[in-house]
Amino acid sequence: MAAAVDLAPNQIVRALQLGNFEKAMTSDAIWTCVSCQTCSTRCPQSVDCAGIMDALREVSLQRGLASPAQKTVVAFQQAFLKNIQRNGRLDEIELIAEFKLRALPSQRSLRFLFKDASLAPLLQIRRKLHLRGEKVKDRALVRRVFERCKDGKHA
């Protein structure tokens, strides 16, 4: 993805080395990044650039620094985590609904809201559509795990 972003992974690392955290944390790149691990794998200095991207996303989210253009991706990842927190496993239909509602304020378009609805019948005839997702039995345990991870940091 390096060619398609405002700051390439090496430029992000350089900005951090120079103490320019703001520049790195507000970049589009950290939310455009698809976590393909290519930068970490190829870095001649063995810098874990993809791991740095994760850390930047986490801090950017905590400080509310994501720009409107990046908020759709943030909304998707947040909807995903909320979904697992409730069910233990992903419920695809619920995820799509929650993502669309979360992202709607920044997208502001009905086209966005209904864009993927046409996929439903195509998935249905292929027996790929599950109107009700699976849930684990001990969902209280899943909630406790999430609660204990709330601050994101470990010792």
Partner 1 sequence: MRLAYYPGCALHGSSNDYEQSLRACLGKLEVAPQEIQEWICCGATAAHALNHKLSIALPARNLALAEQQGFEDLLAPCPMCSMQLLKAAKLMDEDAGLRREISSVIEAEVSGRVKVLNLIQVFQRIGLDRLKPAVKNPLADLKPACYYGCLLTRPPDVVKFDDPEQPSSMEAIAAVLGAKPVDWNYRTECCGAGMTMAKEETVLELSQRILADAQQHGANCLVAACPMCHVNLDMKQGDIEERYGERFGLPVYYLTDLVGLALGISAEELGIDRHFVK
Task: Give residue 13's region: left, alpha or beta (phi > 0; psi -120 to 50).
Answer: alpha
Within 92-131, which residues bind partner 1 (CB under 8 A)? 92, 96, 99, 116, 119, 122-123, 126-130
Binding test (CB under 8 A) with partner 1, winner from 20, 105, 108, 134: 134
Residues in the chain: 155
**Of residues 11 and 78, the one with the C-beta less far from partner 1:** 78
For the record, the structure tokens of 56 come out as 């930047």
Binding site for partner 1 (CB under 8 A): 1, 4, 32, 34-38, 40-41, 48, 50, 53-55, 57-58, 61, 72-73, 75-78, 80-81, 84, 88-90, 92, 96, 99, 116, 119, 122-123, 126-130, 133-134, 136-138, 141-142, 144-146, 148-149, 151-155
